[in-house]
Amino acid sequence: MSRHLDENIGELAGDGLQDGIDARRAQWARELPHVDTRGMAILGRARWITLAARPKIEAIFASYGLDTGEADVLFTLLRSGPPYRLRPTELYKSMMISSGGATNRIVKLVKAGLIRQVASDGDGRSLPVELTEEGLARAREAFEADMAVETLMLESLSWDEQAQLARLLRKLALSLGSSPSLE
């Protein structure tokens, strides 16, 4: 490319809004005007949004006595539907973590009484895990609280803007081959 877009994404959209990413892009436009920084305009903002949102989301989980990884296990079991049971392999593939990471989380949640391992008709090496009644209740409450906080975080966007952003992010995620799957 001969020159990256000198205008900021906000300026192109005509909204006049500027943020720290715009300032960084302007600095790069002066220093290395031939470098296209549109990736920074999108991926840099996505990273900043994630970093800004994490503390609020993690505080919700902590209020339910969970860390992010533990909440992920409980939510994965909850969204699997009744009987809220998965084999450890299904669990870790669904969460996109290593089997060792899943095992550590399972051990902690069993000790906390939020999940239990159940006898299996088949493979004795891979005991399914399921939510206990307490785990089911805590997972539902924590997920509802998390979604309420995330909804509040999006209030500055209209419903149409939220839908458009979701469509565009899905398209980008699919193009990168990184969209979460439901194996």
What is the structure's pLDDT at 1?
40
125 is written with which tokens? 């090496």
Tokens 């060792």 locate to: 100
At 41-56, the pLDDT tens digits run 999 999 999 999 999 9
Q: How many residues are given for the chain?
A: 183
**Distant-in-sequence, close-in-space partners of 173: CB < 8 Å, separation ≥ 6:** 179
Q: Tell me the domain boundaries of the chain.
A: 9-53+146-176, 63-137
Q: Supply the pTM of this predicted model.
A: 0.81
Paired strand residues for 116:
130
The Cα-based distances of 15 to 9, 11, 18, 143, 161 in angstroms read 9, 6, 9, 34, 13
**What residues of the chain score a pLDDT lower than 50?**
1-10, 182-183
What is the structure's pLDDT at 104?
87
Burial 52-78 (b: 16+ CB within 10 A, else e): eeeeebeebbeebebeebbbbbbbbbb
CATH number attached to the domain at 63-137: 1.10.10.10
